[in-house]
Copies of this chain bind each other. A is one copy, B any other.
């Protein structure tokens, strides 16, 4: 095995989602090199197994040729029923050992096989079921960053489908998904609410903290069922001249994030004694930090992408690396 900038890599890890594929060359839980391609599972270069093999060969073929013994692990939608091969959901409570033991393998087409992590299903009587696939590895990465959080913590992963996960004794015991990001996108693009919003590009696109906070304030004082009424405010605040049209999207963003926080905080238990850890893109996390503060809550930590660390954790738990 030759060196790579003087370092011998120990793991090749893949974060393979719906719209993108990222590959990490890792050593000692650190990323040596990152590559990214647009070959998410819905955007493969060809259909079926060949598409996955080709996408993998394009992003990491030279790495595999150089270090043919390098273990390879993957997470995300690549393991879904629509993915390369299904890694069926494991059930809560789920820890690293369970995730590792229920991981499945596929032949990469280049010799070595690839270990793919399962998703996590929450399904108990008298509650709505929930699913995650990929976030469990991000959580595993956060737990590697600070093992104290494994004892007890609340992990918040904002995004298209925001997750609020409760961690106890190293296990994901329960979690909830909020459609926040997708609601914003779908309502802005496809509903009457977008009609008054300046088109992207046309917009000055300046942020309007007051409009965003009006959304947060509206969410904070809401009762059960009020959201679909308050959503209509995105239109009426513009029609009544109470907000500039360029600020309507900020109101909607604040309203939807605010609703997520009101419900998520209520479900997270006593956040004065449980650390709240946020994982996600820095700009989005910043928006959530601001919103949490508005609701009287602080985040104990804000982490950028923890998927590589989580994949390292998976590789250890599965015995792929020592």
Contacts and interface: CB of A to CB of B under 8 A. Distances in A.
Interface of A: 121, 123, 128-131, 161, 176-180, 182-183, 186-187, 189-193, 218-219, 222-233, 235-237, 239-240, 242, 256, 258-264, 266
Contacts of A223: 224, 263, 266
A289 to B, nearest CB: 18
Copies of this chain, whole number: 2
A249 to B, nearest CB: 16
Given A190-B186, A242-B129, A161 B225 contact: no
B191 A228 contact: no
Contacts of A240: 121, 123, 129, 131
Contacts of A258: 225
A129 B178 contact: no
A263 B229 contact: yes
A226 B129 CA distance: 14
Contacts of A187: 186
B260 A228 contact: yes
B192 A190 contact: no
A274 B161 CA distance: 41
Given A179-B229, A186-B186, A227-B227, 19 more contacts: A123-B240, A128-B233, A129-B236, A129-B237, A131-B235, A176-B229, A179-B231, A182-B191, A186-B191, A223-B224, A224-B262, A225-B258, A225-B260, A225-B262, A225-B263, A225-B266, A228-B260, A228-B263, A229-B263
